[in-house]
Amino acid sequence: MKIKSKDNFLDYIQGERAWRKKELTSIKSLIHGSRKSNSDALIRSGVLLLYAHWEGYVKKVCESFFFYMNFKALKYCQLQPNFIALGVSEEFNWNFPQKKYSSYARAVSFILDKAQDSKFYIDVSARVDTKSNLNYEVLSSLLNMLGVVSEHFENNQHHIDNRLLKYRNAIAHGERTDNNPDLNITFDDFLDLESRISELIDHFETLVINHIELETYKISICS
């Protein structure tokens, strides 16, 4: 993936969003026009598709953001502290040894010395990890890596963890949902969940676009 400008970034993520919206619209139309004998299976399929687009889109946006940051090659000292934390993590290949003085000394050395001259770079493919289970905790970690903050996701944790992930995991693991009141999903339930998750996807997109457009990832502490 090559993201060399803001326009590249916007074109890429908006293209990603467009085809995902189209698929979700298609599955809703199929469910709406189906017979009752088919609708339950289609709703279960719709939940899996909704989760796939939730995880897939968040991951693609994060990846494209960091590919863009790699291309810009700003010095760590020009960036917000979260990027320096990423640099320290990358220095240790994301395996920081605990209770070892030399490791702490090396981390401090990176912050005080290397960050002044070294340019930001991370192994995007290895570091952007949704863990195939994009719950609120994993999402929060990704938001921290990006350097953006939003209470909106915390306010919607119930819909992410206790609805989308709960339904998706049950279906993906082969559990029946029609005979379980805690897992049974009506078409109206699915429409409500799809609306809420799509809104969260849009909110995430807006956060990251603003981060890029306003360059809020920058803060110069270079000497």
Please count the residues of the chain: 223
Judge contact between 58 and 17, C-beta under 8 A.
Answer: no
Residue 137 pLDDT grade (very low, low, confident, very high; cuts 50, 70, 90): very high
Mean per-residue pLDDT of the chain: 93
Chain CA centroid to CA 32, Å? 30
**CA pair distance 169, 44, nearest whole angstrom:** 11
Judge contact between 185 and 47, C-beta under 8 A.
Answer: yes
Per-residue pLDDT reduced to its tens digit, 97-115:
777 888 888 888 888 888 8
41 HSE (CA, 13 A, CB side): 4
3-state secondary structure 121-166: CCCHHHHCCCCCCCCHHHHHHHHHHHCCCCHHHHHCHHHHHHHHHH
Judge contact between 23 and 49, C-beta under 8 A.
Answer: yes
Per-residue pLDDT reduced to its tens digit, 153-165:
999 999 999 999 9
Per-residue pLDDT reduced to its tens digit, 183-218:
999 999 999 999 999 999 999 999 999 999 999 999
Judge contact between 183 and 170, C-beta under 8 A.
Answer: yes
Tell me which of 94 and 140 has the higher pLDDT. Answer: 140
To the question of pTM greater than 0.85 for the whole model, the response is yes
